Structure 1
Amino acid sequence: MTNTLEALTVPLIQAPMAGGPSNAALAVAVSQAGGLGMLAAGYKTVEAMAAEIDDVRAGTLNFGVNLFVPESDPSDPGRLAAYAAALASMALELGLAAPEPGPFSDDHYAAKVDYLVANPVPLVSFTFGLPSADDVARLRSVGTEIVLNATDPEEISAADALNPDAIVVQGAEAGGHRATHGQAKEPSESSTHELVTLAREYTDKPVIAAGGVTGADIAQNHFDAGASAVQVGTLFLTAEEAGTKEAQKDALLSGQYRDTVVTRAFSGRAARALSNRFTERMAAVQVVGYPQVHYMTAPLRAASADNPEGLNLWAGTGFAACQLRPAAEIVDEFRSL
């Protein structure tokens, strides 16, 4: 294992969940409890990312930052326009103007890499694709460890070629956006355990199992198959320190939602969420279109801030295990590993 991961007293990484949940308070709490806290730089400016890093440094020296790799697959303008038209009636019901296709954004990727080279952090992970070999080399030159994401054997092999310090293998059970290398790719249906087992054929790097990890028994099964650590996301959505929207926390804890669905309705990228009115209503017309659809639906989601039926309720298949409790208690569940 790498130095950062070897320093853990609990072999658990808190998943970087963009859009609010993975704030500085959560990252600090997880790291102080013995796991690895992660900041999600996605959808933030460089300045906002830097401020959160400063906040985390005040509480812990062992943490990581996750970056979105800019989308490699182009979105189709015609399909984006059609989806905007399909959203019009929902916008009208909310008293909003008819949506227009959102802009393309690279999420300030290059500037974020530049900042992290100039202001090194212990670990940087990447999702939605792979960084360039040059980006890996620049970050490594300042002592930063590199973690890459993969969702199938082809992606594991591609990640391995960049010689990372570890590879997160994300199974179909995972909540939120799948880490597929390109938005147009249909996510693999392989389970986390299947991917951990397969990974040993494609890499000798440490493997981090992600997706559906809701307890030490599941984690131990992944360790027995060859994983070196687990990445946990959904359980931390209802941690007391998490910045998760209250409506989402309430939905996860209410017992009223029974199913999750993989949907592109909110962002144009495949993501697992609680099935609600929005996912059902847009299921037949959803399109590939990240990040434009994300920006297109943002006003609708903001107008539904208190209504879970209009929100992107990201959640993995194991969401029923969520409890409202301190992050340290979640980490403690995995301390025996």
Structure 2
Amino acid sequence: MQNRGWILYFLWRDLQAQFSCIKSVGCEIAGDEAELRQFIGRHDIYVVAMGLKFLDELIEFGVPEKRIVFYHTHVRLGLPLDRIDRLHAVLVLNHFEKELVSMRKVKKERIHVFPAGYDPCLFAGNDQDGVSQQCGERNIDVLFVGRYREGSDGYYHKRKRYGLQVQIVNRLIMMGLNVAILGHDWECCEYSLDQRVRLIDLPHSETPKVYKNSRLVCSVAAQEGGPVSFLEGMASGCLMLSSPTGFPADIQSGELGSWLMPLRADCEAWCMQITMLLSNNELLNEDVFRQRFEILRPAQFSALARQLVSICFSGHHAEMI
């Protein structure tokens, strides 16, 4: 069931397209109660709830708990969840969250690690020539990815840590680095953002060229539903630096050309780490790209589609191309 306010909707839209490979299993998105009731009227249906609000609504609509798959994102782990132990399955972003959900008395076989996902057709995939471009040939030193949302006193700003991000951006620019932010609405930024930062606002289908022109991708958010930029940046041959949240939390810091920063790290610590990484041209090589491809393979949309089918309809799993 669609949550129109969630930035990950486009990922599920693309994931939905992968189900065209399965002859006897369909996949549709319900955007309102009428569409949902229409779908429920069909036989043998499972419903994926992409938000806590929708999970509650599904139960109110009379959808049996055993027919609900809940995408349990990191940012909702502190909220009360009734009857979660009765659901068909719970999807989480990493193994740490799997352990936390299991503490709610959910059987571990019902909890599945299900990353945000990426499209290998857009973001390099196994195109070694594409991802092997030398970092020195890329014009953007540091790329931050994600839209801006107004409301500096709100929870969203605290979770995204926009204030810290702007501090880091400004410091890096003062140090002479070329910094860019890829995302919508940054012209509305309520913090004192250096005017020399490059603001890029493009449709998602055009963002691969930005990644491939960037040396390092940085994500400072304390809680993320991906972050999508981490998967896309890894696939595009960028150095990666992130808070330990979402997909990155399952990766050993310092491996695969990827590093994690403690949540308590301040602007100075982030900038020191960034400059250290950019000063070493030997951190990425063909072995790293091959290892990245293997760890990213389960996060490709086609792989996630196969996983979701196997969770709901194990008998149809073999039909995926």
How high is the TM-score relative to the length of structure 2? 0.38
Q: RCO (CA 8 Å, sep 6+): is it higher in 1 or 2? A: 1
